[in-house]
Every structure is written in C-alpha cells, then in structure tokens.
Structure 1
Amino acid sequence: MSIDAPGTVAAGIAGVLLATFALAYFWDKRRLLGRMLLAALVVVLLTATCAVQLNRLTVAYPSWSALVHEPARGASLSAGTPRRPGGGRFLTVTVPGRASGLNLTMGVYLPAAYDTAAGASLRFPVIEAFHGYPGSPSTWIRRLDVLRHLDREMAEGRMAPTVVLFPYQTPRRLLDTECTDIVGGPRTETFLTQDVAAYAAAHLRVRTDRAAWGLIGYSAGGFCAMNLALRHPERYTAAASLSGDSGPAIRIGDGSEHTTNNVAWRLRHLPQPRVALYVSWAADDVESRDGSRDVVRLARRPLSVNPVELPRGGHSHALWRRMSPPAFDWLSGHLARGVPFPS
C-alpha cells in the first residue's frame, strides 16, 4: 500500500479508534504507567495519520522509500502514471548540478509528436513546471492530473507539441527555497535556470533560445515562475502563475526577499523586461489575490500581463486543476514552435 493511498489513511484512522477504545477500556485496569503508554500511543497514531493525510494533499513524499531517500537519490516520479494510447511519454532523469552543486531528479514529459518520424527532426519548445511547498513534482502528476491535460490540449490543437520539465526545487523535501539561491544553503535558482537548461540542451531535442522557453507554477511555484522570468528575461519569454504571491515566504539570507527577489519590488524599482506573464488567482484566496493584483497593477510596458481572477476556489488542488489547461494553452501561444534541426 503506497504512502498516499486512501487505504493508508483509513488504516491510520482505524488504529486511532482502536487505541482510543483500548485507553478507555483499560483506564481503570492499568496503573499510571500503562495509562500513559496507551495515551501516548493514541497521540502518536493520530499525529501519524494527520501527517499521512497532509502528504496525500501535497505529495511531498510520493512513496515510502522517499521518506528515507531525498530527491538527489533518484526517487521515482513516474510510478502509478501509466502511458495512455496516443499520449506523450513521461520519464524520470537525474540532472547533474555542475553550476549549482545540486544533483536532483526531474520529471520529463515528451509529447506524442516527439516520437514520430516528423518529430525526430525537430527541436521542441520547453516549459518548466514548478510545484508548491510542501510538495514535489509528483503533485503535478497525481493531484493536478497534468499528463492527461497535456495530452488532451496537444491532441486537440490548443497547445503545440512541447517538452515539459518537472524539476525538484530543493534537495530536502521540507526545505522551502522559493526557487532562490539561499545564502549558505542550496542554490536552487542556479539549478533551475542553468543546470536544468544545460541538461535539456544536451539530452533532449529542444530549442535553446529564449523565445521557446517558458515557466509555470502553482502556489509557491507561481511566485517562482514570475520571479525567475523577471530575473532572467534573457532565458525565458513567458511565465504563468497559478495562485502565486508577489514575494517569497522565506528569508533568503541577504535581504533580497524584500528587494531583488520580490516581484512587486522589482516592478516598482527596476526596468521591466519584455516578458509576458499570465497571472491567475481566486478572489477568495486573500494572500495570493492581493499579491497577484499587485503584479497586475504594477506592470508596465514592455512587460505584458494577462490577469485571470476566478470568483472562488481558495488555495487548492481542485482550483489548480481547473487553472492549468488554459494556463498551459496561453504559454504555448507565447512560445516559439518546434523547428527543424539546422541542416
């Protein structure tokens, strides 16, 4: 039974109920030490069950082995995601961090056209997809059903055939980096903007020019997408934020969370680059709503922003499942299409 299976949570609830019943039944039949041990068992089982349910929502740990092995060890992202006839391929690779010093696994979606005779001579556009915190690339696969969305949008012509990358954003699953280079810590920004691009150029048939590279993310990943696009306009042409805030929720160590690693600050104080942003949020999600509205309000040419406000949905996977297909379609419309290899 997998760690995020409904049966795991059910087993935990059953254990809590049994332990609670035993505590009540043996209360007058055991001495103080026995009562304390039974009470401790109830607390431990309840805590573990809550942790499993939280993990089901975030997929921070996609398997039992992931509790022991960190992303750098190559934990599988593709388990439980069978290929669909006519759809793309999904595989897991390890990206060597020659620039960042990080060696992390990454999910790779290859569109159906990638494996056709015509596609064999093409270089494809690329989208990097960032997860939230807590979370992992598996959240895109298991909770947001992104592979089915990508297959459908490309098959029906709303997206051009595109390679989509799902990198880890941290060497430790419960360490929030907000896709930045933490002072004295992991250089996640360097990994995502340099090492991932270098790996894709060396091992995949992709375009390497900025016109063909875009970013997307939900929650903390939405901030990542906007922030990295503004910080690296020479590398990315467009970015989509789903419920992202305008600033990071962490201390980076150099104060830049208030300045150069803050989207709102950059838009107020620095020249705005020729980048296109898709900014989507729910009106009942106060934090991301206010931050997203700030981005829209502060945007000036040559930066362009396409705002999308939904009336409700909160800060939830259900909302991001709805947001994802139109956001990917919009991104595809702003990226250059696949091109033949130079002759």
Structure 2
Amino acid sequence: MGLTSNGVLALAVVCGVLLFAGTVWLWPRLSRRGGRAVLGRIGLLLATQLAVFAAVGLAANRSFGFYASWADLFGRETGQGVVVDHSAGDGDGPLRVVDVRRVPQAGGARPEDGGQIQSVRIVGRTTRIATPAEVYLPPEYFQPRYRTRTFPVAVVLTGYPGTTEALVSKLRYPRTALDLARSGRMQPMVLVMLRPTVAPPRDTECVDVPGGPRTESFFAEDLPEAVLAHYRVGRDAGSWGIVGNSTGGYCALKIALHHPGVYAAGAGLSPYYDAPSDPTTGDLFHGDDGLRNRADLWWYVKNTPARATSLLVTSSKSGETNYKDTLKFIELVKDKKPTRISSIILERGGHNFNTWRREIPAALEWLGGRLSAR
C-alpha cells in the first residue's frame, strides 16, 4: 500500500485504537511490581504512542503532500533526474504527453467544457534535464473560436520536496484557474506545473550548479522552448509568468528577476530571499562568490540594474517566519523602478497548504492581469 493511500492511514488509525484499548484493558494486570510488568507497561505505552504519531503523521502528509511515496520518505527516490542524452534524438521532441485526464470537479466530460490536464515528460535541449510535469489547458484552448489564439502561460512550482500532484489535488491550481476564468476575474491561461526539484532528492534551489544540474537555465530556456514547441502559447515575455510556494516561491522571484525577457511576472507564496545551504542542497556554488551573490535576492536587487518585471510576495503577520523579511524586501524593491512589487499579507496563516489555498486565487488573478495573449 502506498504512503498516501487510504488503506495505510486506516491501518495506522485502527492500530492506534486497538493499542489504546489494549493498554486500558491490560493495565491492571501490569500494575504490579516486577521487571516483566514494568517492561510490559513501557512496551504498551511506546507502541500506543508510535501508532498515534504514525496516524497523525500520515494524515498530515496526505493533507500537505510532503512525501509522495515510501521511497521519497526514506530518501530512496529514484525517479526522473538529470539525463544526459548522447543520441541524435528519438523523434519525440522535448515534450511528450504520456497521459490526459479531466480537471477535478470541473463539470463536463469534454475538454471544451472543463479543460484538460496532460501529464508530460520534458527533456531540456541544452541542460539535458528531464522532469515530469502536469499541464492544464483551459476549455477555450479546445474551442473552435479560439483556434488561432495563443494563450498566456503560468509556470507553477511546488516547494521542496513537493509533488506535482499536490499542485492539482491539494492546492487546486487548475480548478482555481478555471473558476476565475469562468467568473471573468482572470483570462484563460495555460498552467505548467512541476517541481523545482529536477534532480531528486537534491534541492538545487533553481541554481546552475557548477558541474551539476543547470536548473535555472532549464526554467529560463529549456522549459519555455519545450512548451512553445508543443502548445499554442505566447512567445514574448509578456505572455509568461511564474508562481510558486516556499522554495518554489523563492525560485519564482529569482527567475523573474534574472530573466525579465522571458517572464513578465513572478509570484512567491511564503518565499525566502536567499538560497540556503544544508544537507539537502549540498555545495551549490563551489566557492564562486558571483554565483552566490546572484542567488541572494537581497544582494541582487541592491547591486544590479532594476529590471522591468513585476513581483508579488505573500506572508502572514502571525504564523509565518518570513513576515519581517517580506516587509523589508518590499521596501527594498519598491524604489527600484521599473521593477514593480505587490503583496498579499494575511493576518494569520502558517507555512502550509491551507494558507496557500487562501492566497492562490488572488495571486493567479494578479498574474493574469500582467500577462498578455493574442
């Protein structure tokens, strides 16, 4: 049974209940003195607590999408990583569709009515990074009257480690985009949803790592090229935006700042503003101060010419650790014309899916208002 399956969660809950009941039932027998009785009490208490903690942990993981599988949980993820392809090409192109499905709870079986989600595999032409993604196509994409129209694109990034499925089922990006377009609050957009973790389990922080994955180049060059080759989307920077939460939020801000000729806008939900260095990242810069400074958004905004791009940052007055940094970042950027910055500040909200679901409708509406289509 999978880590996120109903069966595993139900088994953990049942074990917790049975062990609790067993502890209550057997406690009088184990209340007397003696080594065996003491060990019995310790064993029952430990087993009950472990079962309860397991049930709570499994429920939290299902809700927030921290780990997608047992392999992911135990650091044995062996899925798509960095691929070096020395062949001349297999004829599939940089993007290949492997599955299609309906938008959850969209209504209507036809894509012309409720849109469509396509599971794809993308291989970067220059970076040779290979990664899966989910692409949401709005209903208008399939309607005859829009057959000559190109659509704006929002690249949507998870946090670390994150799963693309969480963007669909937990954060509900496709359903939210569909509802916003139906209500007239946002123009129809194509969403390209993926993890910034393109070389799992390593967290590359969307950096071009010397001798390692060139993650920033993948998002700035290869990903737009692959999407443009397969879908009817806009080609100029005014048609492209990028949004993400946590690590994905940091990546979105950084890529929009570094590549305004590709992305007209970047939205960071609960972002941080400098790449961390920890066991999950490894050595990202190999002693190169130029690369380190480039990844530090504080340094980059202060020391490079202002770029014509729009940024959105979010935080909460209570519950988010980035609140003070976010206010400082807003103050830093707002005087750096022509860069424009906006914010969503909640009264309360933690670093979790529930908070981001409250921010996503406004963030998508903001993003759609800054992108153009023809």
TM over 0.5: yes
Aligned letter for 2:62?
R
Deviation at 1:297, TM superposition (A): 0.7
Residues 261-290 of structure 1 deviation map (CA, whole Å, 9 limit, x = unaligned): 111111111111011112221111443212
Alignment of 1:51-66 (within 5 A): 51-62=57-68
Aligned letter for 2:307?
P
Aligned letter for 2:343?
P
**What's the RMSD between the two structures over aligned residues?**
3.4
**Larger gyration radius, structure 1 or structure 2:** 2
2:284 counterpart of 1:261: no
Partner of 2:89: none
2:222 to 192, 195, 214: 195
Partner of 1:136: 163
Aligned letter for 1:12?
A
In 1: Cα distance, 2:40 partner to 2:98 partner: 41
2:192 to 153, 162, 165: 165
2:329 counterpart of 1:307: no
Contact kept in structure 2, 1:58 and 1:136, CA below 8 Å: no
Alignment of 1:87-106 (within 5 A): 87-106=114-133
2:104 counterpart of 1:72: no
Give TM-score scaled by structure 2 length: 0.78
Partner of 2:88: none
In 2: Cα distance, 1:167 partner to 1:270 partner: 29
Q: What is the DSSP-based 3-state SS (H/G/I as helix, E as strand, rest coil) of the residue aligned with 1:274? A: coil
Tell me: CA distance 1:110–1:185, structure 2 relative to 1, closer, same or farther (3 Å).
same
Deviation at 1:40, TM superposition (A): 8.5
2:296 counterpart of 1:296: no
1:230 to 242, 249, 257: 257
Alignment of 1:258-337 (within 5 A): 258-299=292-333, 300-337=336-373
Deviation at 1:301, TM superposition (A): 0.3
Q: How many residues align?
A: 338
Tell me: CA distance 1:112–1:6, structure 2 relative to 1, closer, same or farther (3 Å).
same
In 2: Cα distance, 1:315 partner to 1:157 partner: 30
Give TM-score scaled by structure 1 length: 0.84
Q: What is the DSSP-based 3-state SS (H/G/I as helix, E as strand, rest coil) of the residue aligned with 2:294? A: coil
Residues 66-100 of structure 1 deviation map (CA, whole Å, 9 limit, x = unaligned): 77764429998969946532322111100012322
Partner of 1:84: 107
Aligned letter for 1:143?
K
Partner of 1:109: 136
Deviation at 1:166, TM superposition (A): 0.4
Deviation at 1:191, TM superposition (A): 2.1
2:179 counterpart of 1:126: no
In 2: Cα distance, 1:170 partner to 1:114 partner: 29
Contact kept in structure 1, 2:80 and 2:131, CA below 8 Å: yes
Contact kept in structure 1, 2:206 and 2:216, CA below 8 Å: yes
Residues 51-73 of structure 1 deviation map (CA, whole Å, 9 limit, x = unaligned): 53343233244467977764429
Tell me: CA distance 1:157–1:267, structure 2 relative to 1, closer, same or farther (3 Å).
same
Tell me: CA distance 1:177–1:326, structure 2 relative to 1, closer, same or farther (3 Å).
same
Partner of 1:8: 8
Q: What is the DSSP-based 3-state SS (H/G/I as helix, E as strand, rest coil) of the residue aligned with 1:266? A: helix
